[in-house]
Amino acid sequence: MDSLYHFIFALVGGYVLVKGMGMRYDFRVLVGLAVMTVLIDLDHIWSVLVFHHIFILAPPILLFFAALAMGWKRIQLYSVVLAVMFYGDLLADMTIGMGIPLFYPLDDSLYKLPYVVMNPNFISPYGLTLFLYFGLIALLILIYRAMKAVKGRGYP
């Protein structure tokens, strides 16, 4: 996948997420987070996908829990956005790209969604990627709104 696609994919996904949650945000921060997701593609230069694995999601998730403990609501929001953007990058490379070493460094096998799932006459790899990415974003928005309704006050 090319870097421009990953940047736009991440930026649009982050924007939809914060708007769907009704959160105040700084667009410059969203651009910065989208740039961070493109930086994991630097490993294509070395032809070794050292950053394309499930463990890349750990830093934003750990940051979320640290921010939760400290009461930093903006950091909670942006860490979730960053995790979703990283997920989008991995997902795009699994469906459209050559595959990713999902469990690297434990296993360097490349994982890609099988072609059987993606019949281009019915569902193209691009359509499947968009569905899975924005489906996760919609699910997170619905969970956030449900939690907000139950508690009567907002989260991050």
**Residue 75 and residue 26 in contact, taking contact as beta carbons nearer than 8 Å:** no
Asked, for residue 111, whether it belongs to a domain, the answer is no
Residue 70 belongs to domain spanning:
3-104+119-151
Residue 79 confidence (pLDDT): 94
Asked, for residue 91, whether it belongs to a domain, the answer is yes
Asked, for residue 62, whether it belongs to a domain, the answer is yes
Alpha helices in the chain (DSSP H): 3-20, 27-39, 43-46, 58-70, 73-95, 125-151
pLDDT in tens, 85-121: 999 988 888 888 778 888 887 887 888 876 655 566 7
Asked, for residue 114, whether it belongs to a domain, the answer is no
Residue 125 confidence (pLDDT): 79
Cα–Cα distance between 148 and 95 in angstroms, integer? 34
Asked, for residue 125, whether it belongs to a domain, the answer is yes
Residue 149 confidence (pLDDT): 82
Asked, for residue 40, whether it belongs to a domain, the answer is yes
Asked, for residue 156, whether it belongs to a domain, the answer is no
Asked, for residue 54, whether it belongs to a domain, the answer is yes
* Candidate from 16-25, 76-85, 86-95, 132-141 with smallest mean pLDDT: 86-95
* Candidate from 1-5, 102-106, 120-124 with smallest mean pLDDT: 120-124
Query: What is the number of domains present in the chain?
Result: 1
